[in-house]
Amino acid sequence: MSGDEERSPCKERPEDKTDPGASRHGNFMNYYQFHPAEERRVRQLPCGVWRSAHPDRKYVGLDVGCNAGDLTFVLHDFLETALSADQPKEIRLLGVDLDPILIERARERNPRPDRIIFECLDFLAEDCNRTLDEQLRRFEKSRFDVVFCFSVTMWIHLNHGDEGLVEFLRKACSVADMIVIEPQLWKCYRNASRRLRRSKGEDFPLLKTLKLTGDPAGHIDRILTEFCNFQRVTVTENNEWKRRLLIYART
């Protein structure tokens, strides 16, 4: 991937049989080389909205599709600062990703193993529930205070179809008091498909069956508010990728 792709992650590349940006699940190995996780990924997050249902307990977050963990590390530091003003408390984060190599990397590079842990899990798989329940019990919580889903919904949608996207959001909401979603734009879907076809000679089989097309953020908003009973807290401005953060809370 080139430096240009950092500013435009969905940009089409010339035909390249070994395109490292061609992926089935978004499990890019060098993602953070091209999409640095520092400040500008979390700059859009507001500060005053991170309420906890249990102000006396630790603040616990889940990062779904955490890749090699870089953004999870930054989110930990962000929450520490954001919460310090009105409700100082210890933060615990669980990062999950379906790729075992990425999780291994995240564990090796974890600067706060006392506060951040990583598990290799397919969020839609059955055994994921058991692990999430175990972790919540450890934290003495029934739900996560916040669930982050940064740049993961497109991969779920492409691989599991419209129903899979709804299932994913329902499941994320079922374990969350708040949810933060950074949806990819529709043009990213087309580019992901094109790159997979060119590089691997295969496509996402469910792409042609999708009905929730054109405006992923709009569809996600409707699913969260109409099917998951969450209410919109805020939608941020576009970042430099033209992606917004959608923030919702349990009603």
With respect to ligand SAM, which residue has the nearer C-beta, 60 or 96? 96
136 lies in the site for ligand SAM, by CB under 6 A: no
Tokens of 132: 């999430």
Token code pair at residue 152: 């993961």
Please select the residue that binds ligand SAM; options are 13, 21, 22, 31, rule is CB under 6 A: 31
By CB atoms closer than 10 A (0-12, 13-18, 19+), residue 27 is middle
Residue 206 sits in the site that holds ligand SAM (CB under 6 A): no
Q: Is residue 124 close enough to count as binding ligand SAM by CB under 6 A?
A: yes
Q: What is the DSSP letter of 194?
A: H
43-82 residues in contact with ligand SAM (CB under 6 A) are 65-67, 71
Q: Which stretch binds ligand SAM (CB under 6 A): 12-20, 21-29, 50-58, 231-239?
A: 21-29
Q: Is 153 in the site for ligand SAM (CB under 6 A)?
A: no
Q: Which residues pair with 178 in a beta bridge?
A: 249
Using rule CB under 6 A, residue 152 touches ligand SAM: yes
Which DSSP string corresponds to 81-148? HHHHTTS---EEEEEEES-HHHHHHHHHT-S-TTTEEEEE--TTSHHHHHHHHHHHHHTT-SSBSEEE
> What does R_g of the chain's alpha carbons equal in angstroms?
17
Q: Does 241 bind ligand SAM (CB under 6 A)?
A: no
Cβ at position 197, least distance to ligand SAM in Å:
19
Does 165 bind ligand SAM (CB under 6 A)? Our answer is: no
Q: How many CA atoms lie within 13 A of 227 on its CB side?
A: 16
Of the candidate residues 42, 97, 188, 243, the single one contacting ligand SAM (CB under 6 A): 97
Binder among 45, 83, 91, 96 for ligand SAM (CB under 6 A): 96
- Asked if residue 182 lies in contact with residue 240, where contact means CB atoms within 8 angstroms, the answer is no
Q: Which residues are at the interface with ligand SAM (CB under 6 A)?
A: 25-27, 31, 37, 65-67, 71, 96-99, 102, 122-124, 150-152, 155-156
